[in-house]
Amino acid sequence: MYYLDYQSTTPLAPEALEAMLPWLAGPDGEGFANPASQYRAGRAAAAAVEVARDQVAALLPPGGRVYFTSGATEALNWALVCGAQLAPGGLAGSAIEHHAALQRLEDEGARLIPVGADGLVPPPDPAMLPENGLVALMLVNNEVGTIQPVADYAAAAHAKGSLLICDAVQAYGRMAIPEGPDLIAISAHKLHGPKGIGALWVRDGLRLAPWMLGGGQEQNMRSGTVSPALVAGFGAAARLMADRKEADAAHVARLWEVATGMLAGWTINGSTEHRYRGNLNVRREGVNAIRLLSDLREVAFSLGSACGSGSGKTSHVLRAMGLDERATHASIRLGFGRYTSEEELRTALGLINDAAERQLRFAA
């Protein structure tokens, strides 16, 4: 399989797996201990959790605390639900937020900030932002890769006494997270870490309510036994992102050049300037993307967000950008990164182009 779906999930880094294994040890080892236990093995597990917490926090702005969650979906729900208790003045957010945030925004009657054809929100308009409320803005869009002006919106939100929640899932480890957000959601499996672990970063001084009650883990903020293995894998993946930042960025830039060159007959959805270049969302007139996905069993790519791929609905992101139904149905999302070789990419794109040409010839 040629894997081009890095926005959905990324391959687990060998270093992350290696960091996890000691904390999965069976009866012949001590790594299975509960980190809340007070005997030696439990304290060792707790220490590993704190080391990983520091590794994860190192890629986030200073002046905040990392709380581990089951993933970014939980982190965003925590931020939106408990954040609204602190700032009850209403909600606003971009029309292209991930469903984990967008569904609550819509359910609560939030003001949805439109985006242009380039997939970018406009400069902040104070009239669109609530007083003493919440503003949700993702840093890198998961479907088209556009980079949003989070720092500008954070400043505008603060000027109205509101808080800013940032979904940094697709950006974390790949670019600097700007200072300004009050709450930041991240996920390990988007940066070569394990699934089932994410985090919510909470700005110092923000008294967010606990999300889950019970044994008082995570400083009484999110009860439930913490998995040292998942946390250690998250920490190792974060450390590796920091160590490989320049090499990964150069590799992705090269793959972007190859991909855009080979897909010259396709139209890129969204800004090419303000964009993470490991995300290439393209369309070709006359192509049926669903049929293309079905025909190419050996290439893994997507039609948009993996979370909504089974719904049968067209992409809310592409619709918000003004694409009609025909254009959205002709669009595919390609994601690549650290473990994608240039040869693999060229072969996969050749197969995609060939399948698209066959469709167009048949339709003619």
* Residues acting as catalytic residues: 307
Q: Is 62 exposed, middle or buried (0-12, 13-18, 19+ CB in 10 A)?
A: exposed
d(CA 243, CA 238): 9
Residue 135 backbone phi and psi in degrees, to 5: -125, 130
**139: DSSP letter:** S
Residue 38 backbone phi and psi in degrees, to 5: -100, -5
Q: Contact, 178 vs 150, CB < 8 A?
A: yes
Bridge partners of residue 93, in order along the sequence: 112, 136
3-state SS assignment for residue 337 = coil
d(CA 184, CA 181): 7
Q: Which two tokens mark 238?
A: 């974060």
Q: Is 353 exposed, middle or buried (0-12, 13-18, 19+ CB in 10 A)?
A: middle
Residue 153's closest CA among 171, 129, 120, 131?
129
Residue 180's closest CA among 77, 53, 63, 59?
63
Q: Contact, 33 vs 41, CB < 8 A?
A: yes
Q: Contact, 186 vs 75, CB < 8 A?
A: yes
Return the residue matching tokens 């929100």: 121
Residue 191's closest CA among 339, 333, 74?
339
